[in-house]
């Protein structure tokens, strides 16, 4: 995990020092990592709902919208293929600096990016 000194807000410069290695988006599609929160929602990992701040960050990108509550769906596929989930997974692709991702993702799934590694 990258140490950002407890700062939950990442500047663009901070993000350029990180390379995202999302744990929830590796392996084959059938290996999709999902957790079921006690609050009644599916989430990509347990961090999404582990603190109020984390919850608020993931709520801001739609993961806690009422139409995604498990009891409001007949099929879980409808949840994990919803706009919120698709947009989240799209933002993990070709986005090594994690722009637009919640800070928890950079803290948990970001590794230090060594600039100019080729000349070291």
Which residues here bind ligand SF4, judged by CB under 6 A?
22-24, 44-45, 47-48, 104-105, 108-109
Whole-number minimum distance, CB 92 to ligand SF4, in Å? 6
Smallest distance from the beta carbon of 114 to ligand SF4, in angstroms? 20
Residue written as token pair 């947009």? 87
Nearer to ligand SF4, 74 or 94 (CB): 94
Pick between residue 48 and residue 120 the one whose CB is nearest to ligand SF4.
48
State which residue, 44 or 68, has the beta carbon closest to ligand SF4: 44
Q: Least Å distance between CB 9 and ligand SF4?
A: 16
What are the b/e assignments for 43-70, b being 16+ CB within 10 Å? bbbebbbeeeebbebbbebebbeeebee
For the chain, report the end-to-end CA distance as a whole number of angstroms: 22
Number of Cβ within 10 Å of residue 97's Cβ equals 19
């Amino acid at each position: 995990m990258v140490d950002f000194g407890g700062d939950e807000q990442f500047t663009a410069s901070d993000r350029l020092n990180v390379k995202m290695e999302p744990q929830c988006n590796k392996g084959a599609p059938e290996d999709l990592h999902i957790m079921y929160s006690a609050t009644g929602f599916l989430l990509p990992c347990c961090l999404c709902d582990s603190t109020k701040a984390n919850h608020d960050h993931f709520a801001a990108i739609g993961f806690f919208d009422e139409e995604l509550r498990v009891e409001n769906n007949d099929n879980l596929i409808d949840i994990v293929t919803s706009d919120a989930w698709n947009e989240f997974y799209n933002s993990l692709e070709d986005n090594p600096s994690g722009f637009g991702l919640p800070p928890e993702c950079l803290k948990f799934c970001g590794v230090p990016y060594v600039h100019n590694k080729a000349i070291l």
